[in-house]
Amino acid sequence: MDIRKLQKVVVSALEDIKGKDIEVINTTKLTSMFDRLVIATGDSNRQVKALARNVQEKVREAGAEVLSVEGEDAGEWVLVDLGDVIVHVMQPSVRQYYNLEELWQTTPAQRRKAAAQAAGE
């Protein structure tokens, strides 16, 4: 599946369940392991799990494969591996503590530019 289409499916699935602060980071120049990193926040264990499940369902419906899922039991941080796209759904305190955005990007301007490029704008 085209990376832009997969990204759009993921973001839409997160928005459907009211995921907050959805961030898409284009990692093509940073690593060869995956092309996009999608990070979203859920307010509770229940919402984090629901967000991750919805991503999995929508991706499968679109014809793509879910390679693996980690962290569903606890629901504080769920990682959904889609191959070219890695989705992190976290509770606010976990997201703030690990600060993946800073790890993968150095400035907010670069994040916005990467998200715009990832969306094909």
Q: Which of 103, 98, 80, 87 is nearest to 24 (CA)?
A: 87
Give the range among 34-38, 40-44, 71-75, 110-114 with minimum mean pLDDT: 110-114
| 30 vs 81: CA distance, rounded Å | 18
| 42 vs 84: CA distance, rounded Å | 23
For the chain, the average pLDDT equals: 89
Does 107 have pLDDT greater than 60? no
Record the pTM.
0.84
Whether 57 and 69 have beta carbons less than 8 Å apart is answered as no
Whether 35 and 24 have beta carbons less than 8 Å apart is answered as no
Superfamily grouping for domain 3-104: Beta Polymerase, domain 2 (3.30.460.10)
